[in-house]
Structures are given as structure tokens and as C-alpha cells.
A and B are shown apart, each in its own frame.
Chain A
Amino acid sequence: MLMAVGLAAPVVLAAIIALAGLLSPQGALRLRRGATVLSPVTVVPAAALTLLSPDAEWQAPWLLFGTVFSLDPAARALTLIAALLYGGALVAVGWLKTKDAERGSGALSGFLLVCFTGNIGTYWAADVVSFYLTFAVMSFSAAGLVIHYRHQRARRATRIYLVMSVFSETAILAGLLLTAGAGGYLVAEAPAAVASSDHTGLIVVLLLIGFGVKAGTVPLHVWLPLAHPAAPPAASAVLSGAMVKAGLVGWIRFLPLGQGPGDVPAGHVLLALALLGAFAAVVIGVLQQDPKVVLAYSTISQMGFMTCLVAVAMLNPSAAGAASAAAVLYAVHHGLAKGALFLGVPVVKHYGSGRTGVLVTVGMVGAALAVAGAPLTSGAYGKYVSKEAVEGISVMGLGLAELLPLVAVGSTLLLMRFGWVISRADRAAPRPPDGELLSWLAVCAAGVTVPWAAGLWWLPAAGEFSWTATALWDASWPILLGLAAGAVAWWAARRRLAPAWLRADGTTVQPGDLVVAEESLLTGAWKRTSRGVELAHRGSAAVLQGGAAAARGAAARSRRGIARAESTVDSWEGSGVVILVLTATAVVAVVVWGGGVR
């Protein structure tokens, strides 16, 4: 029951915000303001659920094709961070003085609320239809977050996001239909069903594409660097912290991990793409100037890391359980840390100086260290269990366990760049603490504790952190390496050693890197197709028109002929001739031939 409340409460509140339009303008404003302030409360049932009833289940056989929601360990952990992030975002958006609130804050809160429902729904869904439902709800309401500012960049980002989402949804729909058709209506049975289906390969590819969009897998990641900077920071926080994880969850739920022989080609491809994402994002990210773009590339890189784990689970069925648990754990950690960073962007702006400056700096550095995986942070825990999970897998001769820590090097570089950029950003006039600061603090605090708690108590499959020196060293050297590389780069930049074309202001490689190419590829393909269809269309139309014209001509000719004939019998004599001929013919025909008079 609590589950239903958890799902329904945000939607109801969003509906109230929408329906407020029925009232007078003043009334609407008041009601919306109230609802916005109240909105963080709606995440409480979901959060409470994770703490109070770890194996909750809610069945609604009348809903859609029969709906089941249930909680499992992965969902539990992810739900908690989702609740925290969304709660934080809602607080950040809502608990502001009216003059500081963003325009249309009601709408932003509303979309966040709907998004939240969709997001936790994807974690909880125990049947494919409700999974698809909640996934779609989340995807499409997120468009409302991205477009919030309605400036040109936001529009472009939204358009691209929507196009990609539609492709993603369609692929997922096809994949899920095939899954359900193969007998995997319930999520619990889905991997087995996929594995035993006639179209396993097809399903896997469809799901990889479909969820890959959300998870930011290269080359489907292009919406991320566009959407994150365009969206309000609170929205970026949930996008990056919670929503992209839904793609990961989709893979874990539906891919036949731990089933079948493993070592499938799709797994290799995925692994390659994941590694490409994990490293390439760093290179592109450091060349950016907007702090949120840098964070977005960091997300791509981190998601590449997590995707590696999924790929490993595909390739190595025996490690599947550990790998996916590790991925979830990593997701939990990354969600909170990255959420804190995104939420921190405006915090730095508003509170980065003055009395709160120290606090802000500490928090931001902490979160950044966590993302990079510094020892004692949740990042180190996540990286540790991941490394354990991928033991023994090698790519092009290099062990994956050796490759993955290098991601942390990249992350360090990226975050240094982030720190550099944000420290030089403009500061607004200081203002007294309000929801923005509060929520950021809360998320920071949660980031320190929750991953540990979740990993130790809720996700036993992930394994525990080994408090050994090796492990600590393992966590430390990439950071140090990263710091060193960063220092070199900074020095090189100061000395203008870098080639002229390599400029770290987002012009060398524009945010969204491949998007231009992909766009032109798609539009070109579309143009060619439609030109072909158009040609065929015009050809058939011409044939039809020709036929119609010929028919019309024939009809007109026969009409004219008939009219001429009619004018013959117009006169009495003409008519008389015809009648006479007819009579004579009839008599001859009937009497002579028919009757036999010879």
C-alpha cells in the first residue's frame, strides 16, 4: 500500500499543480507555491518504504495488463538515492524566497514529481508493462526539465533528447514485446525468457540500444552534454544522478545475465563502447568550459565504467551476480556524488563566498574526491567492488582490472577541470541560506554515508570493502596520477605549449561531440528516404493522373457521342427513323429468325 502511495503521491501533487490553472490567477499562484513547498514531502513514502519494508510488493491486476511492483535489494538502494536526490532537487527548487524562485517553478516541480514517479517505478516494476510505462513516463517528463529555460540551447537539447528518447522507447518497446512474447512478462522471468527466446540476439541488441540511450553509451550519449547544461542544476542533478541509472537498471533487469554460454559478440561490442565512453569522455570533457558540461562528460565517463560491468556480466555468466551488484553499488555512489556536484553549481555561485564559502568548498571537494574514488570515499568502495567483479576479463591483452583504475585518472582530470572552471565562474551576491544550500548539504551528507550503508547491508552480493593498504593504494594512485597529469596540463597550458587548435573553451570539440555528425547522418538518411518515397509517390500519382485523364477523356468522348446521338433523335423525324429501324429490326429478328419464317 505504501508503495502505491509512494507512486501516486508525486503524481497527485503534480496534478494539483496542473489543475491549479482552474482557479483565478492569484489563487493558482498561491496554490502552486504551496504545492511546491510541500513537494519534497512526497518522496518520503518511497524513502520510508526502502527503510521499513525491504520486500514490499503491490499488485494491481486491473491496471494495464496486470501490474506488479516490488522491491528488491538493487531497487531498494537506488530508490533511496533517488528519493534523496529528488527530495534535494525539490527542496532546492521550492524552498526559496519567491523573488529567487525560477520562473514557472510550479512546472519544474511538477515535472520533477512526475519524473520521480517514473524513476522509482522503473526500479520497482516487476512486470514488463509497468516497467515500460514508468520508463516512458520518466523519459518524457524529463523533457520538461530540459526545456525549462526555453532558450535556444534548451530547445535544441530538448529536441535532440526527444528524438533519442523516441528511438530508445521504440527499441525498448520492441525488445520488451519480444521478451513478453517469449514468456517473460514478469521481470523476474525475463532474463530466462530472453535467453530461451528464438530471437535472443535481436532482443539483446534492441535492449542495448534502447537503454543505451538513457545510460549514455557511446554513440548514444550525445544528448547528455546538451541536456545537462541546459537544464536547471537541480534537474541536472536528478538526470545525472538518478535517471541515467534507469538505463543501467533496464539492462540488469532484462539482459540474460548469468544465463547461457556468455562470451556473446554483443557483450564484446558493449565492452568496447563502454571503455571508449569512459576514456574519450575525459578527453572531450577537459576541453569544455561550462562546468555542467564538464560534469556531463564526467557522467558519460562514469557510466562507461558501469557499462563495463554490465558487459562483463554478459561475457562472464559466473561473475554476473557480482558484476551487476557492483554496478548498482557504483550507481548508488555515483548518483549521490554527482548529484551533489550538480546541485553545488548554483550553491557555489550563491554561497561560494563569505561565511559559507568554506563549507561549500569542503563539500564540493569532498564530492569530487568521491567521484574520483579517493580513499575512504564511497567512490573507493564502488571502484573496489567493481575491480573485484571484473577480475580475469581482458581487453586487447590488457586486464580490465588494470584498465578500470585509469578511469579514475580521467575522472580526476575532469574534476580538476571542473574545479578550475567553477572557481573562475562569477559569484552572485551572497544571500541567506535557503533550500538550495540545505538540499546540497543534505545530499553531500548522504553521499558520505548511504553508499556504505547500502553496500554493506543491502547489497551483500557486491562484497565488502577490504580495508587493506593495497586497496587504499589502489584507490590513491590514480588520483595522484591524475593530479600530476593535471598539473602538467595546467603548466603546459600556461606556457601555451598546446597546439593552437586545442583550446579548452568548448570550441575545439563542441558539447555533444558526435551529435552534429549523427544529426546530419540521420537527416540525410531521412531526406534520401523521403525523396525516394516522394519520387515513387509522384510517379504513381502521375500514372494515376494519366489514367484518370485518359478515363476522363474517354468519358467525355462517350458523353459527347451520346449527346450527338441524342440530338439525332431530338427531331421528330430523327426519332421516327430510329423507331422505324428498330421496329423493322425487331420484327425481322424475332419473327424471321426467332420464329422461323423463311
Chain B
Amino acid sequence: MSTVLDLGLGVAVLIVTGLSLLARSRLVMSMSFLVLGVLVAIVWLRLSSLDVALAEAAIGTGLLSALLVWLAVRSPLPPGAGRMETSHRLRWLRPAVGLVAGTVLTVVTAAVWVRADHRLPAWGEPAQAQLPDTGVEHPITGVLLAFRAYDTLLESGILMLTAAAVLALSRRGGLSAGSTHQLSIHQASAALPPVPATLSWAARMLTPALVLLGLWLLFAGSTDSGGAFQSGAVLAAALILLHCAQVDLRVFQARWLRPLLVGGVVVFVLAGLVGPLLGLPWLSWEPEWAFAAVLVVEVLLTAGITAGLYALFLALENPEGVR
């Protein structure tokens, strides 16, 4: 049974992949990608990776696809198409090359995979053994915030800096508190279709539920599936909903967005600095206070991720006078 399921799932994934890659319309592409996200989340559930599935659902399907769909909606036709005619030669060359190269690569890679002599990771046992020292019970959270906290820190840095980057591409270079304000809803709404009242109402009603879900995911993370990323994504989704419902978030954006954005990283680094101050390596938590540290970091990280994702969304609207 499982074979059929896997086969079906796989084929579905490939079909949707094809659709999202080859479709002519941007909207179809992005919607297909959204579907792909859902399918992949299922695949990951099938591969017994609940956390990843959650993350995919929240981040991948939720936010990532939302970004793309939004982009497709805002500019549905590929502008400038046909303006830059490629030479006649390349017209038939491109698909041919793509086909041949893709086939060759696939065949070779598949052949290699088939011959591969898999070896199970060597970190299974030490991970089990050292998990108690981290103060968390959920192994994935343990990996994220203790064993490979460095990766996580850099990665939250990436998100923060990406947010910084997109803010920098907005008015006033993301500098002043008013910057986010100015590119926000007022200019954007002029172009957006008016939001139906029902949607606005639904968004407002949905928000507390989402916030709750987010908080649950956050605090569950230490013991069970879930964690800062999933939680942050849900919270960001809540903010975006509110934004779309034209709730006035200006004060939040002006006052809180940037502090929240950097808070996670700052506290993470400072927490990492405690170790060296005590003579331990960077980013080490003593078992005694490990849980507290992880919790603080996780909470602030969630806030940071929320802010970062929200900022990405906010920055999608072009500031006026972009030229």
C-alpha cells in the first residue's frame, strides 16, 4: 500500500513541479507551487518528519508560496516579455539543451544513487546521549538550539539581514522608524482592490487563533514538534492577515518591527557569549541554566522571525517614485 502511496505522491509531486515550472501564466505557476508545497509537506509527513512538515506547511507553503502568489497577482503578466528577442539559434537550442542536459544529469545521478553505499549518520548516539544536557526534550529543538546552535544563529542572521536588505530597498534605506510606515498600506492600498468586509472581518477573527497556534508551537517546541520557526511563520501570517485586512499596524511597524527583528539575533549572540565568560566554548549552555537560556533565545528568535517574515512581505510593495 505504502508503495502505491509513495509512487502516487511522488508522481503527483513531479507533475505539480512540472506545472509550476512550465506554466505560461505566472498565476498558474505560483498556485502550482503552492500546491507543490502542500504535497511536499505530505511527503515529509510520510517520511515521518513532522517538524519539517510543520515548517513546510507554515514557512514553505504558507509564507513562501504566499510571497510568490502575491507577486504573481501584483504583476500577472511577465512584463517585458518579447522585448528582448533571443536569437533564432537559441530558440530551438534552449529546450534541446535543457532536455539533453537534464536527461543526462538525471540518468547519471540516478545511477550513482542506485550504486550508493549508504551509511547511517554517526551522530545518532551522541545526540541521544547529550540531549539531557541541553535542557530540552525534543531532539530537533536540541539540535537547532544546542548541538548546532551556530547554524541556527547564522541562519537567523540570514533572515534578519534579508529583512534588513529588503527594508534597505525601501524608502529611506530602511533607516528611519518611519520607513516601514511610509511604504505601508496607504500607498499600497491605492493600488490594491478594496478588501471585502467579510475578509477583513474573518482576518480579524482568525488572528487570535493564529497567535494562539503560534504560541503553542513555540512552547511545544521544547518537548514536542514545533519551534521558533514554525511559530514565527504562523505569527507572521497573522500579522500579514491583519495587514491585508487593513488593520492599522503603523505603530507596531514604526516602533517594534526593527527591535523585534534584531532582538533574536542579539540575544542569541549574547547568550552564546555567556559560555566564554564562564570559560566554556561559545554557545554552550550549562545544564543548570540551559533550559532558561534556550527558552529565552527561542522566544526572541520567534519574535525576530516573525518580524523578518513580515518585513519581507511589507517590502514587496514598491515605494512610490522608485525611478
Interface on A for B, CB 8 Å cutoff?
A: 571, 573-574, 576-577, 580-581, 583-584, 587-588, 591-592, 597
Contact = CB atoms under 8 A, between A and B. Distances in A.
A577 B92 CA distance: 11
Given A580-B98, A597-B111, A597-B115, A587 B90 contact: no
Contact of B84 (A571, A584, A588, A592): A571
Q: Give the size category of B's interface with A.
A: 10 to 19
Contacts of B101: 580-581, 583-584
A571 B94 CA distance: 12
Given A573-B90, A573-B94, A584 B104 contact: yes
Nearest 3 A-B pairs (CB), nearest first?
A584-B101, A580-B101, A584-B104
Interface in B70-126: 84, 86, 90, 93-94, 97-98, 100-101, 104-105, 108-109, 111-112, 115
A572 to B, nearest CB: 10
A571 B108 contact: no
Contacts of A580: 97-98, 101
25 contacts: A571-B84, A571-B86, A571-B90, A573-B86, A574-B90, A576-B94, A577-B93, A580-B98, A580-B101, A581-B101, A583-B105, A584-B100, A584-B101, A584-B104, A584-B105, A587-B105, A587-B108, A587-B109, A588-B104, A591-B108, A592-B108, A597-B108, A597-B111, A597-B112, A597-B115
A591 B109 CA distance: 9
Contacts of B84: 571
Contacts of A597: 108, 111-112, 115
A573 B97 CA distance: 11
A597 B115 CA distance: 9
A584 B98 CA distance: 10
A588 B111 CA distance: 12
A594 to B, nearest CB: 12
Contacts, number: 37
A290 B184 CA distance: 116
Contacts of B94: 573, 576-577
Given A571-B84, A571-B86, A588 B97 contact: no
Contacts of A592: 108
B100 to A, nearest CB: 7
B86 A581 contact: no
Contacts of A588: 104, 108
B319 to A, nearest CB: 26
Nearest to A592: B108
Nearest to B93: A577
A592 B105 CA distance: 11
Given A584-B104, A584-B105, 16 more contacts: A573-B86, A573-B90, A577-B93, A577-B97, A580-B97, A580-B98, A580-B101, A581-B97, A583-B105, A584-B100, A587-B104, A587-B108, A587-B109, A588-B104, A588-B108, A597-B112
Contact of A577 (B90, B105, B115): B90
Contacts of B105: 583-584, 587
B106 to A, nearest CB: 10
Nearest to A574: B90
A583 B101 CA distance: 8
B174 to A, nearest CB: 28
A597 B105 CA distance: 13
Interface string B309-320: 000000000000
Contacts of B86: 571, 573-574
A29 B174 CA distance: 89
Nearest to A580: B101
Contacts of B109: 587
A588 B105 CA distance: 8
A598 to B, nearest CB: 9
A580 B103 CA distance: 11
A587 B93 CA distance: 20
Contacts of A587: 104-105, 108-109
A224 B74 CA distance: 108
A547 B262 CA distance: 67
A383 to B, nearest CB: 107
A597 B108 CA distance: 8
A582 to B, nearest CB: 9
Nearest to B115: A597
A580 B84 CA distance: 21
Contacts of B98: 580
Contacts of A574: 86, 90
A25 to B, nearest CB: 79
Nearest to B104: A584
Contacts of B104: 584, 587-588
A584 B107 CA distance: 11
Contacts of A581: 97, 101
B307 to A, nearest CB: 33
Given A580-B98, A583-B101, A584-B104, A591 B112 contact: yes
Greatest chain A CB density within 10 A among B93, B100, B101 is at: B101
B84 to A, nearest CB: 7
A587 B101 CA distance: 10
Contacts of B112: 591, 597
Contacts of B111: 597
A584 B109 CA distance: 11
A577 B86 CA distance: 12
B218 to A, nearest CB: 41
B64 to A, nearest CB: 23
A591 B104 CA distance: 12
A135 B97 CA distance: 89
A577 B101 CA distance: 9
B80 to A, nearest CB: 13
A584 B86 CA distance: 23
B111 to A, nearest CB: 6
A577 B93 CA distance: 8
A577 B89 CA distance: 12
